[in-house]
């Protein structure tokens, strides 16, 4: 019985890991697309957190921080907030335009 419980727990852990990786890959692609549209240089992306947020079929809200540059010299940090595969909004600080 104990080994069955360990197998089920391991399976659930793998499924959660795969889901989080897919979410991170989608967020990274959306951030790069956003930076390209705004003519910004994308620098890095990091997952900032997950919170309980039932919204349109998704149970969690995902927050990703990303670094970008507008002129190649300065670096700024923006945030992408998603509910499942849906973008809720981008939060981008004011930045210099050259």
**Mean pLDDT score of the chain:** 92
pLDDT of 98 reads 73
pLDDT band at 10, cuts 50/70/90? very high
pLDDT of 1 reads 78
Report the sign of the C-alpha dihedral through residues 77, 91, 52, 54, in that order: negative
Closest CA to 62 of 11, 14, 26, 15: 26
The Cα–Cα gap between 85 and 74 comes to 30
pLDDT digits (tens, 9 = 90+) for 12-24: 999 999 999 999 9
Calculate mean pLDDT across residues 50-57.
80
Distances (CA, A) of 38 to 32, 63, 86, 98: 10, 20, 20, 13
pLDDT of 69 reads 95
Calculate mean pLDDT across residues 63-83.
95
**End-to-end alpha carbon distance in the chain:** 65
């Amino acid at each position: 019985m104990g080994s069955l419980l360990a197998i089920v727990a391991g399976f659930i852990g793998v499924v959660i890991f795969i889901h989080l990786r897919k979410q991170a890959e989608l967020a990274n692609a959306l951030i790069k697309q956003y930076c390209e549209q705004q003519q910004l240089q994308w620098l890095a992306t990091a997952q900032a957190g997950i919170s309980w947020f039932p919204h349109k079929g998704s149970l969690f809200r995902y927050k990703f921080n990303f670094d970008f540059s507008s002129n190649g010299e300065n670096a700024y940090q923006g945030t992408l907030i998603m509910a499942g595969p849906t973008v809720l909004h981008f939060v981008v600080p004011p930045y210099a335009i050259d």
